[in-house]
Amino acid sequence: MTDAAELRRRTAELLAANPPATTDRLDFLKARFDAGLAWVHYPEGLGGLAAPRSLQAVVDTELEAAGAPDNDPRRIGIGLGMAAPTILGYGTDEQKRRFLRPLWVGEEVWCQLFSEPGAGSDLAALGTRAVREGDDWIVNGQKVWTSSAHVARWAILIARTDPDRPKHRGITYFVCDMTDPGVDVRPLRQITGEAEFNEVFLTDVRIPDAHRLGEVGDGWRVAQTTLMNERVSIGGMRIPREGGMIGPVSKTWRERPELRTADLHQRLLTLWVDAEVARLTGERLRQQMVAGQPGPEGSGMKLAFARLNQEISGLEVELRGEEGLLYDDWTMRRPELVDFTGRDAGYRYLRSKGNSIEGGTSEVLLNIVAERVLGLPSEPRTDKDVAWKDLAR
Amino acid sequence: MSPESPESLAGTESPATPRSPGATARSGNPNGTDNPNGSDNPNGSGNPVGKTPDLLYSEDEEALRAAVRDLLTDQCDAPAVIARTESDRPHDPELWKALGDSMGLAGLLVPEALGGQGATHREAAVVLEELGRFVAPVPYLTSAVVATEALLACDSDAATTLLTALATGRTTGALAVPLSAGPAAPLKAVRHQDGTLHGELTGIADAATADVLLVPGDDGALYAVDTDAPGVTVTAQTALDLTRPIARVSLDAAPARRLTPDAETAVHRALRAGAGLLASEQLGLADWCLTETVRYLKERKQFNRPVGGFQSIKHRLAQVWLEVVNTRAAARNAADALATRSPDTDIAVAVAQAYAAPVAVHAAEEALQLHGGIGMTWEHPAHLYLKRAKADSIAYGTAGRHREALAELVDLQAP
């Protein structure tokens, strides 16, 4: 069993052999991966040492202290948070060897081709078709809300392989090459003025069967791994006191006494309390995970933060008064990173509207809490035993 | 319809953090808590507020919870609580004897040297969760927490003697400060003259059954007054929450023993602990409301389907669940801060009470509404929870008062 002392020893070895000051960033990251110190809970040979996940902090702390470069996790969040666990869970040995190392070091960026114009909350109704042709699959359809698609090398993709079966049972999961000539990525401009996301049109895209993840028709189950990890990564982040959106508005309040009103004061204090309690709930969840007792509490974190971000940023626009009538910049851009807290209050107000839609709408998440946590009856499922091709659309 | 099914929905967690034996903080050892988080500082470098709080329940705490819940399940059923509310003895002396004396819970916060358990606010908070879950009519919060805390701040033989007595549970005390007063409220004192007290106080929780009152005098000192002494009249007031009765206290040359010359410090400490741990009572109360309402709505059928299957109702219950989950983190944070004497305690308590008070009211109001007509009846226990939740929202300072305190504490000043 790999313990903390062993990890410290291995980390020291890595640092001795590859001094961060004189080693190329990418070379260092590759050496770290090969030493099993990338994600210690992954298997040996795939960047890990099959160690307890909680021990990752030991390695990270040592490396940070030594000034070692990191893999810029914000830039490759979809790869790390969604593609990697799915590949690990369902990939062949060949796929794991091929994809995980360049994914982790950041040489290859990943994106997610799941949502469609006609399949949002009802993702399983998706209509992008994949048809078998020899050793390949030919894919046609349209995906949407794809962040990072314009910089991605690979995508995780779910497509319909059997329209005659009920919707959950005719889906297959693939790895899609974003450099295929049939992949057309177009920016999708949002209410903030920028295009953080894309639409992706797939026209006769050819995917080798060797790039299928899991069995044919089993894609919905495979996708659950991806989606569970998405919610964890959206809601499970640790934040310091005043570390979220309550930070900037509190700062403005302190610095600009002329903006204060009694009404805003009451609302600000209420939201400050809510934000602090949400932070404590996140911290409690983290402690549960460290103690090896993950509870259902995580399901609520995303709901809480969506509401908080929206209400706090809305308050901040109002607090700013005349300045609240302005907006920093409507110029169309294609940012590489999702930025929830950057820019001014108006941007935050608009961007946070997406927080209750992306990664599961708040309405769907409330259903999930009610059904899976509280055990209340499921929504009526009129589509359960109907072939996908016969569904209303 | 009964509170005998308190399997917690929002709190279903297996025994939590393994703590090394003796790691539970003891009073006098503020740094004794086990910290499962290593050296992480969750507050960011710009906002240091001490150690990361331990927000989980230890195995010992879970064992304590189980024991208290077993006892309450046996001895505190809703019909009996309802019947007792209109009797001459709103408190249940048998239940209090079992909890306070036999189980030793009255002395949790009292050092072992004084006959107590030498435990901390973390354990007391767990007891209060269960008492809230059953709206138990016992003077635990007022005597074993608030009066005890006041005495712990006193340095006198009279205080030590009284602490030792309260720790047994056979004597109960009540702080003679209105239940509505929060930690920052101005102290209301009675006239002190030649070793006796004169004056009238109202809204004193659990005074009618208390043996001793702790009374602030106008000379700044805190005094002990026996309720059976001459010149002391305690008259029950008609309370909104009949499970935590309140009374008027008249003192007419009542003989008084001086406990400390500094009543303000003692009362502040007592009310701060009361406010902080009340959040755990509110947590238990809200958790019962959620759990019982969910249970009922899975069974109750209208329009040929379980009422709990309607989406509007599912969403409302899911919302209450979120609030209960949040309240648990806030309440644990306050209890841990009190137990470890964290420099963050004032903020932790104000946050907990500002958050938990409206959640408990919301959970109780939802329980009543979602039970439909049956929830409006005297026979159904929902009203016990509503009345307790509403009274709790005033007890030890309203949420608004605690937000006012926060405005100072975290420098978000009023206009």
Q: CB under 8 Å to A336, separation ≥6 — which residues?
A: A75, A148, A151
Q: How far is Cα of residue B64 from the mean position of the Cα atoms in its chain? A: 16
* Nearest Cα residue in chain A from B313: A370
Higher pLDDT: A74 or B318? It is B318
pLDDT digits (tens, 9 = 90+) for B339-374: 999 999 999 999 999 999 999 999 999 999 999 999
Domains of chain B: 59-168 (1.10.540.10), 173-262 (2.40.110.10), 265-409 (1.20.140.10)
Answer for the pair A170, A216: CB distance below 8 angstroms, yes or no.
no
Whether the predicted model's global pTM rises above the 0.80 cut: yes
- Which residue's structure tokens are 């294609």? A334
Q: Decide if A261 and B415 are in contact by the 8 Å CB cutoff.
A: yes
CATH topology of domain A110-216: Butyryl-CoA Dehydrogenase, subunit A; domain 2 (2.40.110)
Q: Give the 3-state secondary structure of residue A44.
A: strand
pLDDT band at B51 (very low <50, low <70, confident <90, very high): confident
Residues 288-317 of A with CB under 8 A from B: 288, 290-291, 293, 295-297, 300, 303-304
How distant, in Å, are the alpha carbons of A95, B75, B246 from that of B87?
A: 74, 17, 14
Measured distance CA(B12)–CA(B130) in Å, rounded: 14
- Identify each DSSP E strand in B206-276 by its residue range: 212-216, 222-226, 232-236, 246-255, 257-260
Measured distance CA(B163)–CA(B161) in Å, rounded: 6
In Å, how far is B307's CA from the nearest CA of chain A? 9
Q: How far is Cα of residue B59 from the mean position of the Cα atoms in its chain? A: 22
Answer for the pair A303, A365: CB distance below 8 angstroms, yes or no.
yes
Measured distance CA(A224)–CA(B99) in Å, rounded: 48
Strand B173-175 versus strand B212-216 pairing type: parallel
pLDDT band at A57 (very low <50, low <70, confident <90, very high): confident
Q: Which helix (H) or strand (E) holds A29?
A: helix A25-34
Measured distance CA(B131)–CA(B126) in Å, rounded: 9
Q: Decide if pLDDT at A298 tops 90.
A: no
* Nearest Cα residue in chain B from A239: B42
Q: Decide if pLDDT at B22 tops 50.
A: no
Nearest by CB to residue B294, choosing from A265, A279, A374, is A374
Q: Give the 3-state secondary structure of residue A170.
A: coil
What residues does A322 pair with on adjacent strands?
none
Tell me if domain A110-216 and domain A236-373 are identical in fold: no
What residues does B169 pair with on adjacent strands?
none
In Å, how far is A273's CA from the nearest CA of chain B? 6
Please give the DSSP secondary-structure letter assigned to residue B98: I
Q: Decide if B329 and A281 are in contact by the 8 Å CB cutoff.
A: yes
Q: What's the pLDDT score for residue B14?
A: 36
pLDDT digits (tens, 9 = 90+) for B150-198: 999 999 999 999 999 999 999 999 999 999 999 999 999 999 999 999 9
Nearest by CB to residue A376, choosing from B40, B309, B328, is B309
In Å, how far is B408's CA from the nearest CA of chain A? 11
Q: What's the pLDDT score for residue B288?
A: 98
Say what percent of chain B tops pLDDT 90.
Answer: 86
What residues does B202 pair with on adjacent strands?
none
pLDDT digits (tens, 9 = 90+) for A162-174: 999 999 999 999 9
Answer for the pair A94, A46: CB distance below 8 angstroms, yes or no.
no
A141: alpha, beta or left? (left if phi > 0; alpha if psi -120 to 50): left
Measured distance CA(A368)–CA(A375) in Å, rounded: 9
- Identify each DSSP E strand in A83-128 by its residue range: 110-113
Nearest by CB to residue A370, choosing from B18, B318, B327, is B318
Active-site residue set of A: 230
Q: Decide if pLDDT at A226 tops 80.
A: no
pLDDT digits (tens, 9 = 90+) for A192-225: 999 989 999 999 999 999 999 999 999 999 998 7
Q: Decide if B329 and A295 are in contact by the 8 Å CB cutoff.
A: no
Q: What's the pLDDT score for residue A296?
A: 78
Written in H, E and C, the secondary structure of B326-338 is: HHHHHHHHHHHHH
CATH topology of domain A236-373: Butyryl-CoA Dehydrogenase, subunit A; domain 3 (1.20.140)
The whole-number average pLDDT for the span A233-253 is 80
Nearest by CB to residue B315, choosing from A297, A366, A373, is A366
Q: Is A65 on the interface with B (CB under 8 A)?
A: no
Q: What's the pLDDT score for residue B86?
A: 86
List the structure tokens of A129: 């078709």
How distant, in Å, are the alpha carbons of A170, B18, B51, B204, B328 from that of B8?
A: 39, 21, 29, 32, 12
Measured distance CA(B291)–CA(B298) in Å, rounded: 11
What residues does A138 pair with on adjacent strands?
A131, A206
pLDDT band at B50 (very low <50, low <70, confident <90, very high): low
Measured distance CA(B213)–CA(B150) in Å, rounded: 11
Measured distance CA(A159)–CA(A200) in Å, rounded: 13
* Nearest Cα residue in chain A from B306: A377
Q: Decide if pLDDT at B2 tops 60.
A: no
Burial B304-313 (b: 16+ CB within 10 A, else e): eebbbbbeeb
The stretches of B97-156 forming alpha helices (DSSP H) are: 121-133, 148-152
pLDDT digits (tens, 9 = 90+) for A148-161: 999 999 999 999 99
- Which residue's structure tokens are 């048809």? A131
Cβ atoms within 10 Å of B381's Cβ, excluding its own: 24
Q: Decide if pLDDT at B114 tops 70.
A: yes
How distant, in Å, are the alpha carbons of A93, A130, B143, B183 from that of B186?
A: 71, 73, 21, 9
- Work out the mean pLDDT of chain A and round it to a whole number: 92
Q: What's the pLDDT score for residue A329?
A: 92
pLDDT band at B140 (very low <50, low <70, confident <90, very high): very high
In Å, how far is B86's CA from the nearest CA of chain A? 35
List the structure tokens of B296: 């009922």
Measured distance CA(A275)–CA(A357) in Å, rounded: 20
Query: What is the residue extent of each domain of chain A?
Result: 4-70, 110-216, 236-373
Q: Decide if pLDDT at A79 tops 60.
A: yes
Measured distance CA(A327)–CA(A191) in Å, rounded: 12
List the structure tokens of A102: 């360049």
Q: What's the pLDDT score for residue B28?
A: 35
Q: Decide if pLDDT at B141 tops 60.
A: yes
Measured distance CA(B320)–CA(B366) in Å, rounded: 8
- Which residue's structure tokens are 């074993």? B144
In Å, how far is B338's CA from the nearest CA of chain A? 16
Measured distance CA(B125)–CA(B233) in Å, rounded: 32
A-chain residues near B319 (CB < 8 A): 366
Look up the ipTM and state it: 0.88
Nearest by CB to residue A240, choosing from B42, B308, B313, is B42
Q: Decide if pLDDT at B305 tops 60.
A: yes
- Which residue's structure tokens are 């410090």? B265
User: Which of A284, A293, A363, A371 best probes binding to B when mutated, by most B CB atoms within 10 angstroms?
Assistant: A284
Q: What's the pLDDT score for residue A1?
A: 63
By the 10 Å C-beta count (0-12 exposed, 13-18 middle, 19+ buried), A184 is classed as middle
Q: Give the 3-state secondary structure of residue B223.
A: strand
Q: Decide if pLDDT at B12 tops 50.
A: no
Q: Decide if pLDDT at B1 tops 50.
A: no
Cα four-point dihedral sign B340, B389, B204, B209 = negative
User: Which of B8, B321, B347 best probes binding to A when mutated, by most A CB atoms within 10 angstroms?
Assistant: B321
Q: What's the pLDDT score for residue A239?
A: 75
**Rounded CA Rg of chain B:** 21
Q: What's the pLDDT score for residue A288?
A: 85
Higher pLDDT: B46 or A353? It is A353
Q: Give the 3-state secondary structure of residue B249.
A: strand
